[in-house]
Structure 1
Amino acid sequence: MKIARDMMALAQNPPIPTDDLPHVIVADRQLIVCQGIGSLVAQIAEVELGEYATDKASLKALLSRARGKTILILGVRLADGDLTHVLDMVRKDHPEVMVVVVAEDSEFAFIRTAIKSGANSVCMMGQVLTSLPRILGKLIEGHSIVPTDILRKLTSEAADTLSRREHEILGLLGDGLTNFQISARLGLSENTVKYYLKAIYQKLEVNSRGAAIAKYVAGNY
């Protein structure tokens, strides 16, 4: 009798074949970050954890082999490319892939970039334990989602104030350092410095290095 009941329950709620589960790829320049996020993803029964990528070549290879619904959890930098370049690559070659960008609070400028570049969702690293499972659930259902707290920050006046890192870069800009010198001083790539500068120009409502420096010297920022 019990066997019959179990068979009936199984028929009504058949297990999802592994091949039908959404495939999740995690990509970040630091393998330890990939592994940390991957350990969380592995606990979510509705998805299947795939491999990790730390550079564009390995990410391209993983995406080219992916079959069925694929979700990419992407940090703001790979070893050889920043967020904008990687998102452009993914959107061009794999438009069907759903992308979640994970960023630190100090990297909020990248969140703006991610949304403008077509990311399906964003998640702050400090909230990854609580937010990421919910975000993945929405993506599995086919819905893009930007958490309310991030939307509020994007639309608030505070979103237009400079972050700590942007203040730091603006100060070095005022000291006359070149992009290369700033990148060497802060341990960032030159492309990352350029993205920060772009965000700084937008927030200061200027369109040149000289105008940004002038506002910095005058204290109008």
Structure 2
Amino acid sequence: MRDVVQVSDEDAVGQVPEVIVADRQLIVCQGLGSLVAKIPEVRLGAFANDKASLRKALRQCTGPAIVVLGVRLADADLARVLEMLRRDHPAVMVVVVAEETEFAFIRTAIKAGAHSICMMGQVLTSLPQVLGRLVEGHSILPTAVLKRLTGEQGDTLTRREHEILGLLVDGLTNFQISARLGLSENTVKYYLKTIYQKLEVNSRGGAIAKYVAGTY
């Protein structure tokens, strides 16, 4: 792990940050929460499984807040949650927890301004370090993530294509995607055709598999 970004919040000095754990699976929230509760630099706050419960938890915070965020909530993928946090709660620090196979989401998190990344396979040792460094005013990324990012070509997918792929991962049909994004079904089909070409696949399943694994 290495420091990559310096962040500070003068208003938060002297206050113990409250950590909200957010993931679509309660068991994941509970597991991460039990770890957070043992970290002296922070205090454990509420769990959140969807955007509404996350907003509620943030509204109830009286001081600085850190969101430990999985790659999906029950009603939104990582990109949409990060967009909401950046728009409505810009002072909140965000730590994204992801599997190594979910590199597309790691890339999305970094581009969207997440303060730190924590790999699920190393969470027992890395999450206390990440949260401790955030409290001190530093953001950190795993060295392996930095090496992979610096060795990659530029992302070939547009923001809209990422959005549509995220909805595919959530299991939405073309009609549901068109309704969610305010597009016609023909436009969604056009986007999917372009996505398949870029990912060099010929099916929804193939596109989802590549996107989740980050192998594109």
Q: TM-score range by the shorter chain?
A: 0.5 to 0.7
Aligned to 1:118, which of 83, 96, 113? 113
> Which consecutive aligned stretches of 4+ in structure 1 deviate over 6 angstroms post-superposition?
none
The correspondence for 2:100, drawn from 91, 97, 105, is 105
Query: Where do residues 51-66 of structure 1 align in structure 2 (5 Å cutoff)?
Result: 51-66=46-61
> Offset of 1:144 from its aligned partner?
1.6
CA distance in 2 between partners of 1:159 and 1:153 (Å): 12
Identity of counterpart residues, as a percentage? 60
Per-residue deviation, 1:158: 9.6
TM-score w.r.t. length of structure 2: 0.68
Q: What 5-or-longer segments of structure 1 have no aligned partner?
A: 1-18, 161-178, 195-206
| Cα distance, 1:210–1:159 mapped onto 2, change above 3 Å | closer
Taking CA–CA contacts closer than 8 Å with sequence separation of 6 or more, which of the two structures ends up with the larger relative contact order?
A: 2
**What is the match of residue 95 of structure 1?**
90
Distance 2:31 2:66 in 1: 17
Q: How does 1:144-159 map to 2 (within 5 A)?
A: 144-157=139-152
Q: Deviations over 1:105-133 (max 9, x none)?
A: 22110000001011001111111111111
Q: Is the 8 A contact 1:153 1:159 kept in 2?
A: no
Distance, in Å, in 2 between the alignment partners of 1:68 and 1:38 is 19
Report the Cα distance in structure 2 between the residues aligned to 1:189 and 1:40, rounded to whole angstroms. Answer: 31
Cα distance, 1:20 vs. partner? 2.6
Deviations along 1:193-213, one digit per CA (max 9) or x if unpaired, are x9xxxxxxxxxxxx8725744
Aligned pair partner of 1:68 in 63, 79, 99? 63
- 1:143 maps to a residue whose letter is H
Task: Work out whether 1:190 is the aligned partner of 2:172.
Answer: yes
Task: Say if 1:80 and 1:211 are closer, same or farther in 2 by CA, change over 3 A.
Answer: closer
Cα RMSD, aligned residues only: 2.9
Measure the CA separation in 1 of the matches of 2:194 and 2:117.
Answer: 33
Report if aligned partners of 1:22, 1:140 keep a CA contact under 8 Å in 2. yes
| Aligned residue among 51, 60, 74 for 1:79 | 74
* Separation of aligned partners in 2, 1:49 and 1:189: 32
Summarize the alignment of residues 15-54 of structure 1 with structure 2, pairs less than 5 Å apart.
20-54=15-49
What is the rounded CA distance, in whole Å, between the counterparts of 2:195 and 2:25 in structure 1?
A: 36
CA distance in 1, matches of 2:195, 2:41: 51
Number of aligned positions between the proteins: 164
**Residues 53, 210 of structure 1: CA spacing in aligned structure 2 closer, same or farther, 3 A cutoff?**
closer
Amino acid corresponding to residue 35 of structure 2 in structure 1: L
Aligned to 2:193: 209
Structure having the higher strand fraction is: 2
In structure 2, relative to structure 1, the CA distance for the partners of 1:151 and 1:159 (3 Å cut) is farther
SS at match of 2:102: helix
TM-score scaled by length of structure 1: 0.66
